[in-house]
Structure 1
Amino acid sequence: MICSICGGAAFSFKEVLWPELVAAWGLSAEETAYVNRQQGCACQGCGANLRIVALGAAIRDALRTSRTMRELGGDPRLASLRILDINGAEAISAALAALPGYVRGDFPEVDMEALPYPDASFDLLIHSDTLEHVPHPIRGLEECRRVLAPGGRLCFTVPVIVGRMTRGREGLPKSWHGNSAAHPDDFLVRTEYGADAWTQVMRAGFGHVAIHQVDYPAATAMSAWDD
């Protein structure tokens, strides 16, 4: 496996899930293992975990480039690219920020259900493990589609448990990603994504959706676009 961020081929691993989250999600041993791999297996060269590496692969495909994320700033074809980065994605954000058309907007300060940007104002929109925290995720995807220019691409990740179907957590005990005491709202999980996660993209009106994998089922990313 080659890192889409820096081109490195050496990866290290540590477990990142904690018992309370495993119990709240009802994860099996197999599911726990691949979610741990997604979040805890990281490139030794740049520190990007497999989730970020998968997102980088989706972005490279969208931009039709073989360059690593770190090399994109030197690509003259991308000088006019208008990019919206919602919430940031570690090493990817650092690389894209070198391009003149880069805009950062952090959720929840930037409302994904009512993005404060004009129609058709970006060529590339990215977000990573953010949509599951949005109260009405299809509305968030509709907003992503609205602000994309013709031919633009949305590239994103959500945490997916592939043996299940997507469900909302309304009526269930609250579950957070991260420290609930420090971030009581930011990391509250509204949606648990399953194998049908891609259908929300279609319900939001996109004409096309693709799933990119670098280490199935641990590391996948989606992209969406219209003709």
Structure 2
Amino acid sequence: MQAIRLILLMVLSFATEATTWGESEVDDPIVEGEKCSVYEPLSYGGYIYNWPSKYDQVFWPLTDYNGIWFCEKSGFTSFIGDFSALTVSELAKIKKYLLENPPKDSSIHTKLALLEALYSLRDTDTAFKNRLLRVFARWHQHLENYDKANDYRRKALAGIELALQGDMSEFKHLEYLYLAANYSKQLGYKEASDRYISKLISSLGNIKSEDNRGYIEYLQKLYPDTNYIEAGGVLDPVLPE
């Protein structure tokens, strides 16, 4: 009976943090009339915001293999749901690139290289570009390419520090202070990290608006982990039990 209870507990624990996918098809934006086989999320929950990618403030499904959409025929690749709204200019540049650089296979390494190359040809804002760097950092950490992952974080930090000098939304300001603290600590700039944490704590305490109350409470629980981030290697801290 005890063994059965243990098995049930394990199953229920898994179910509460499970994500499920369903197969789907979308139009290939490069080759007219062709379809691309992709996956769409069927179920997930708020627990995705507590998975380790939270330290980069990027989340499932961008961190999942199924969250990368790839067209076998054309080689067009993007993150999930980002096939539409391509401009005529973007399509022309992407078609030219894929013609000159056809994918050699459909491995995750090839897909990541395609994502970086093709998004560089698309018109995106600085916030999107920064998030993209953080997604690439998370992916390369997962693949144990730690130096490359931290190069992406270094680039993201430079953009974050520049953005913090200007005007931005309350939400983005909190997010960037938190990320600046994490990345500074991980890249060996402890004093800078401490300054960003101090600014974050002050900002969290001074905000009276209810608009971002949920995010404020989330960061209040999360930022103490920054103290345990170590320089180099993996970003995710080893927390005391």
TM-score by length of 2: 0.27
Instruction: Judging by fraction of residues, say which structure has more helix.
Output: 2
The structure showing larger relative contact order (alpha-carbon pairs under 8 Å, at least 6 residues apart) is 1
TM-score by length of 1: 0.28
Instruction: Judging by fraction of residues, say which structure has more strand.
Output: 1
